[in-house]
Amino acid sequence: MKPLRVWAVARKEFTHIVRDPRSLGMGIAIPMLLLVLFGYALTLDVDNVPLVIWDQSESPASRRLVSGFLGSRYFLLQDYVHNYPGMERAIDSGRALMAVVIPPDFAGRIESGRSAPVQIVVDGSDSNTATIAMGYADMVALAYSQDVAVEATHRIGGRAIQVPLDLRPRVWFNADMESKNYIIPGLIAVIMMVIAALLTSLTVAREWESGTMEQLISTPVKGPELILGKLLPYFGIGMLDVLLAVLMGEFLFQVPLRGNVALLFAMAAIFLAGALSLGMVISIVTKSQLLASQLAMVLTFLPSFLLSGFMYAISNMPKPIELVTYLIPARYFVALLKGIYLKGIGLEILALEAGLLALFGAAMVLLANVKFKKRLV
Amino acid sequence: MIMWERIKHMLVKEFIQIFRDPRMKGVIFLMPIIQLLVFGYAVTTDVKDIATLIHDLDNSIASRELVSRFVKSGYFHVVEYTDREDRARELLDRGNVGAVLRMNKGFEEDLRAGRTSQLQVIVDGTDSNTAGIVLGYSSKIAGQFSADLLTQRILRSSGPLGQTGRVAVETRAWFNENLESRNFYVPGVIAIIVMLITLMLTSMAVVREKEIGTMEQIMVTPITSTEFILGKTVPFALIGFADVILITLVGVFWFEVPIRGNLGLLFVATALYLLTTLAIGLLISTVSQTQQQAMMSTFFFYFPAVLLSGFMFPIANMPEAVQWLTYLNPLRYFLVIIRGIFLKGVGPSVLWPQMLALAVMGRVALWLATKRFHKTLA
């Protein structure tokens, strides 16, 4: 392998990129734009759950329960409804996500020391939001019951009674439970995966389609030199993207970066080498820009989005699908980024992920070299 | 004046071109099914069997009783008991456990003496969604435990008269009784897979002719630009429909997602949705100079379309400005329609605004594509 020839190919490829400023702009501007847009827009924090209340009791006791709901920052009152069709309409149309139905005998039951059923109806179609909202509703109800009990004993004049158990929740690595803190590292991984594969997936196919491959074949350049030369400029763009993304995470979104920055970039370099080579392999195997772009999109975006643990926890998936996720390089990069960003851990814990990522990168580079044949077919 | 004869020839040519490469058949018909099978299983936010570490320093009847309530709830799965202080840090760092329950020495004694005991719950916040759900479960279990003991205390201090009123919450989830996240996500996965296929096919359709140079040959034929655009749309519309039918069948029969609404309505809505995605693909194709540009633009459209559609992230939580942006997203409307028909069984009286929006968007995009194409011819 002669560095001079590698350099020549790299320069040629670089000229291609510069000559098409729109593609270059897309390679750099798109990832940044997406990160800004999604960084602001995407949150899974459930608050202000739109709520309707059907208070059939209309008593001081029921109003107190209602104010428990309204006082919580998790609920946002849309309306009071006064009959079943009203409640049904509110939930069917999506205007309310939850309805609280307080029965007519609520006050009587509470005062006579019995259990008073309150019905909570949630729109279960988004089961995730529904589960969280139901958790909030339970908390409001429990707090109400406890208050009633403590007050009742005061009234009877008994000894002041203390609440038996105090739950002290603590959230590690992300104390305020801000979803942006884990969405942004995950986003960086997904965006880089797709951009990297898209950047390279057309380069070889284009040469075949436009016939310039024949000219390349007639030059003394060797296969590995050609591949390396074609990878280098895109690797530069990719690393620039990672740098910009990390800077944005730091200054724009204030995602805490607790681990080692050098480790982060080292891992990003390995990941990029693998992802770019994957695009290259696709390009070499298909020799057609149409098929190459289809494959690149299909193999990168949705798998990285859905199977990497970015949004859907891998531990919740069935075993066979969990095994499939080991084939998704973004899985390792997401784990590495989350670990380095939020937990501040290093290679002593992340060795497996780093190793598998390196293995993936090496396999892709090797595959690209094996599959590329410098001859006319 | 549209000549159907010319469009027919064009259709034949397009189909030959698409399927000339036998691998394209796999990409078009097999890939969506495989994708749905894999993603359908992967997309779940149901939190159960949370790996839990018990750090019980009291090891008393009361503390064990509390732990057993966590286990019996079905959400927590104890993987280890420990008395080492640093074990929690170790396991959380490695991601081996998602929650730690910690009770100090004197837990039971405090309870007996009528004081307040503490239960510390530590959760892994690297996925704050799961963390929030785990905390919700914990506070429910701990709250119930506390309420039971409170009743005992009151009985002890004030006799049987001391029974106090309490709220018993009865929850009912409509449209998805067991709160299965799969029912919510599978229709969405169908919508995003179909969008990807149709966008990719059409966005390459016109620009490839430009790049290879066959566009000039088409220009010297008597075909008009409307006929040309129609000829480029219809084959992909047919392919799109075939894909929708295939993967809907997989969703219904394999994943057992209920279809409560009208199938006919689903087809009408799908036709409108396909019209929109195809038209946007064509528009991308007419404004692009190279296939690479077309692909980048497709990605630039598709990625935000998926993330800002309400597929995973609720639109109501987004900033106002971004919410306005989502009105330009066909996927946003189609998700409401497909989930409405699948899960809620609602009809046109509820879904007409979304269907109207899709129809308008599709028409406008198609008009723009035809207009842009005029320019290229000139």
Model confidence pLDDT, tens digit, residues A352-371: 999 999 999 999 999 988 88
**Total count of residues recorded for chain A:** 377
B16 in contact with A at a CB cutoff of 8 Å?
no
- Two tokens at B32? 């969506």
Does position A167 have pLDDT exceeding 80, yes or no?
A: no
How far is it, in rounded angstroms, from Cα A348 to Cα A338? 15
| Burial (0-12, 13-18, 19+ Cβ within 10 Å), A367 | middle
**Would you place residue B24 in the very low, low, confident or very high pLDDT band (cuts 50, 70, 90)?**
confident
B175 in contact with A at a CB cutoff of 8 Å?
yes
Report chain A's mean pLDDT, rounded to a whole number.
86
List chain B domain ranges: 22-44+180-377, 50-162
Q: In 3-state terms, what secondary structure has residue A375?
A: coil
How far is it, in rounded angstroms, from Cα B378 to Cα B148? 82
Quick: pLDDT tens for B95-111. Answer: 888 899 999 898 999 88
Does position B377 have pLDDT exceeding 60, yes or no?
A: no
Does position B299 have pLDDT exceeding 50, yes or no?
A: yes
What are the phi and psi torsion angles at A284 (to 5°)? Answer: -70, -45
Give the Å distances, CA to CA, from B29 to A25, B26, B188.
34, 5, 19
The conformational region for residue B223 under phi > 0 = left, psi -120 to 50 = alpha, else beta, is beta
Cα dihedral sign, A307-A312-A314-A320: negative
The mean-pLDDT minimum among A110-119, A156-165, A306-315 falls in A156-165
Q: How many CB pairs under 8 A join A and B?
A: 399
How far is it, in rounded angstroms, from Cα A282 to Cα A39? 30
B 41-80 residues with CB < 8 A to A: 41-48, 51, 66
Which residue is it, tokens 């070889």? Answer: A204
Amino acid B72: pLDDT: 92
**Would you place residue B55 in the very low, low, confident or very high pLDDT band (cuts 50, 70, 90)?**
very high
Does position B231 have pLDDT exceeding 90, yes or no?
A: no
DSSP B92-155: HHHTS-SEEEEE-TTHHHHHHTT--EEEEEEEETTSHHHHHHHHHHHHHHHHHHHHHHHHHHHH
Among residues B31, B50, B150, which one has the least CA distance to residue B95?
B50
Looking at 3.30.750.210, 3.30.365.10, 3.40.1710.10, 3.40.30.10, the CATH number of the domain B50-162 comes to: 3.40.1710.10
Q: Which domains does chain A have, with CATH numbers?
A: 3-43+178-371 (no CATH), 49-156 (3.40.1710.10)
Amino acid B206: pLDDT: 83
Contacts of B139 in chain A (CB under 8 A): 135, 138-139, 142, 167, 169
| Burial (0-12, 13-18, 19+ Cβ within 10 Å), B72 | exposed
Contact call for B196 and A142, based on CB within 8 A: no
Question: Residues near B118 by Cβ (< 8 Å), separated by ≥ 6?
Answer: A165, A166, A168, B103, B104, B107
Amino acid B161: pLDDT: 53
Quick: pLDDT tens for B125-165. Answer: 887 778 888 888 888 898 888 888 887 877 777 665 556 66
- Two tokens at A83? 């009959």
How far is it, in rounded angstroms, from Cα B108 to Cα B60? 6
Comparison of pLDDT for A26 and B242, the residue scoring more: B242
Contacts of B98 in chain A (CB under 8 A): 315
Average pLDDT rounded to a whole number, residues B337-347 = 87
Among residues B333, B181, B309, which one has the least CA distance to residue B257?
B181
In DSSP terms, A52 is beta-bridged to A79, A99
Q: A107 to chain B: nearest residue by CA? A: B165
Mutate to test the interface with A, among B25, B92, B128, B134 (most CBs of A within 10 A): B128
B239 in contact with A at a CB cutoff of 8 Å?
no
Contacts of A41 in chain B (CB under 8 A): 307-308, 313, 318-319, 322
Q: Residue-wise over A17-52: b if at least 16 C-beta within 10 A, else e?
A: beeeeebbebbeebbeebbebbbebbbbbbeebbbb
Does position B188 have pLDDT exceeding 50, yes or no?
A: yes
How far is it, in rounded angstroms, from Cα B134 to Cα B47? 8
Residue B36 CB neighbours (<10 A): 23
Q: A290 to chain B: nearest residue by CA? A: B204
Contact call for A302 and B193, based on CB within 8 A: yes
Amino acid B181: pLDDT: 80
Q: B183 to chain A: nearest residue by CA? A: A125
Quick: pLDDT tens for A227-282. Answer: 888 899 999 999 999 999 999 999 998 888 888 999 999 999 999 999 999 999 99
Average pLDDT rounded to a whole number, residues B277-286 = 92
- Beta strands B99-103 and B117-124 are antiparallel
Cite the DSSP H helix spans in chain A: 3-19, 21-41, 60-71, 84-92, 106-111, 127-156, 180-201, 203-210, 212-217, 223-251, 261-286, 289-307, 319-325, 329-338, 347-371
Contact call for B39 and A182, based on CB within 8 A: no
How far is it, in rounded angstroms, from Cα A130 to Cα A60? 28
How far is it, in rounded angstroms, from Cα A151 to Cα B260? 48
Q: Which one of B140, B181, B192 has the shortest CB-CB distance to A135?
A: B140
* CB distance A303 to A178 below 8 Å: no
Tell me the ipTM for this assembly. Answer: 0.78
Amino acid A334: pLDDT: 92
Contact call for A135 and B127, based on CB within 8 A: no
Which residue is it, tokens 């999604």? Answer: A38
B131 in contact with A at a CB cutoff of 8 Å?
yes
B159 in contact with A at a CB cutoff of 8 Å?
no
CA dihedral A186, A189, A192, A197 (to 10 degrees): -120
How far is it, in rounded angstroms, from Cα A109 to Cα B144? 19
CA–CA min distance A307, chain B (Å): 6
**Would you place residue B378 in the very low, low, confident or very high pLDDT band (cuts 50, 70, 90)?**
very low
Q: A208 to chain B: nearest residue by CA? A: B212
Quick: pLDDT tens for A29-51. Answer: 888 888 888 888 877 777 788 99
Q: In 3-state terms, what secondary structure has residue A49?
A: strand
Q: Calculate what percentage of chain B has a pLDDT beyond 70.
A: 96
CA–CA min distance A26, chain B (Å): 7
Q: Which one of A118, A164, A296 has the shortest CB-CB distance to B116?
A: A164
Which residue is it, tokens 């750090």? Answer: B55
Element (H, E) at B12: helix B4-19
User: What one-letter code names the amino acid at A364?
Assistant: M
| Burial (0-12, 13-18, 19+ Cβ within 10 Å), B331 | buried
Which residue is it, tokens 């991601």? Answer: B95
Mutate to test the interface with A, among B48, B161, B171, B214 (most CBs of A within 10 A): B171
What are the phi and psi torsion angles at A222 (to 5°)? Answer: -95, 160
Cα dihedral sign, A334-B326-B242-B270: positive
Q: In 3-state terms, what secondary structure has residue A31?
A: helix
* CB distance A133 to A52 below 8 Å: no
Question: Residues near A153 by Cβ (< 8 Å), separated by ≥ 6?
Answer: A159, A160, A161, B154, B157, B158, B162, B164
Average pLDDT rounded to a whole number, residues A289-294 = 79
Q: Residue-wise over A138-149: b if at least 16 C-beta within 10 A, else e?
A: bbbbbbbbbebb
B24 in contact with A at a CB cutoff of 8 Å?
yes
Which residue is it, tokens 């202000």? Answer: A48
Among residues A99, A117, A72, which one has the least CA distance to residue B166?
A117
Question: Helix, strand, coil proportions of chain B in percent (round to 5)?
Answer: 70, 10, 20
